Chain A
Amino acid sequence: MATLEQTLEEILNLAAGYFKVPRAELSPDDDFFTKLGINSLQALELLTRLEGHFHIELPDYELQGVSDFRTLAERIQSRL
């Protein structure tokens, strides 16, 4: 199973690629709404892509209050 750091790295790569932000500009503790410049609809798009990428289901209520990549990775890690 992937480690938390590996999962985090995959999330950062996926987010950078999908939202066309240079990967080097993203850090684990960044607020992804601010850093990616996304709204709630785009957050749902990100959720859909993460579910597809990791082959998991992540109920959206688990994202309540989550805004940084590291916590997001922890939520995903708990579903792997």
Chain B
Amino acid sequence: MRSFAGEAVSWNLSGSVVELTLHRAPLNEIGTATLAELEHFAAALAAVSAEASALLISSSLPGGFSAGADLRELFTRSEQASPQERMSGVRDFLERIHRVMTAIDCSPLTTIAAVHGVCFGGGFELALACDLMIADKTARFCFPELRLGLIPGFGGIPRLKRDVGNAVVRDLLLTGRSMNAAKAQAAGLVSQVAAEGAALRVARATAAQIAKFDRATSAAAKRFLKPIPEAELQRERELFCELFARPLVQEALRKFVQSASALPYLP
């Protein structure tokens, strides 16, 4: 399938570039609807990869790339489920989203996340699955999960560890603070910083450069450079489930969902 227009994501193959656009209001929260469409994309990725050189992932929403997992849906579903159903539901969701992330991570295409604004939690993890991150000056990166009594669960920690020094991982994870684009570039996370609103244009220019190369060579180089941290990804899923089983997580989710605070995006 060369193009698709869904409720949460759309994609289009044009020339040698596949563009995946996130557009689920309010801020591309990743719940079951988005996951189903991302799975649809992952299934189509193998076929479009034969015709393309690069994959660009971006958001068409003004607020940013993605605020991460859909915590409201997670809370609502958890409230309605028995403890056993709650855990099996979370485990199933994690395994499915990990398959999507890994499909993007190990795609033979050179993958680029064009990021602006909020890039938090699961959104940050999606960007980390890409080969290159191009951020505009408004971008902010954050893992706020610890305030819920959780760790990132979509593969973020092993992928962040793969890309940057452990001190940066600890700083982001253990403080829950957000990091701006300039700092993220200095840390080695972001490859290029673009002017406000220009990340996608810069990403397209980069994709055009990538398209000049032999696809098999680019794919071989990527396989060589970017191993999938399978064991750590599995351990992350297990640890997430262990932490999620505690009552304090459900209380933290309730507090988040019911909060009238003006600062829900600030850890």
Contacts and interface: CB of A to CB of B under 8 A. Distances in A.
A64 B262 contact: no
A5 B13 CA distance: 54
B176 interface: yes
Interface stretch (A9-17, A19-27, A43-51, A72-80): A43-51
Interface in B97-130: 117-118
B137 A40 contact: no
Contacts of A51: 180, 182
Interface majority SS (helix, strand, loop, mixed), chain B:
loop
Contacts of A57: 180, 183
B63 A52 contact: no
Interface residues of B, number: 23
Nearest to A45: B138
Contact of B177 (A45, A48, A61, A67): A61
B183 A48 contact: no
Interface majority SS (helix, strand, loop, mixed), chain A:
helix
A39 B262 contact: yes
A52 B137 contact: yes
A41 interface: yes
A40 B117 contact: no
Interface of B: 27, 63-64, 117-118, 137-138, 140, 142, 175-178, 180, 182-183, 261-267
Across the A-B interface, the 8 shortest Cβ-Cβ residue pairs: A59-B177, A40-B265, A60-B266, A40-B263, A41-B63, A33-B262, A60-B178, A40-B264
Given A43-B265, A44-B265, A61-B175, 10 more contacts: A39-B262, A40-B261, A41-B63, A41-B64, A43-B262, A44-B140, A44-B178, A48-B137, A59-B175, A67-B262
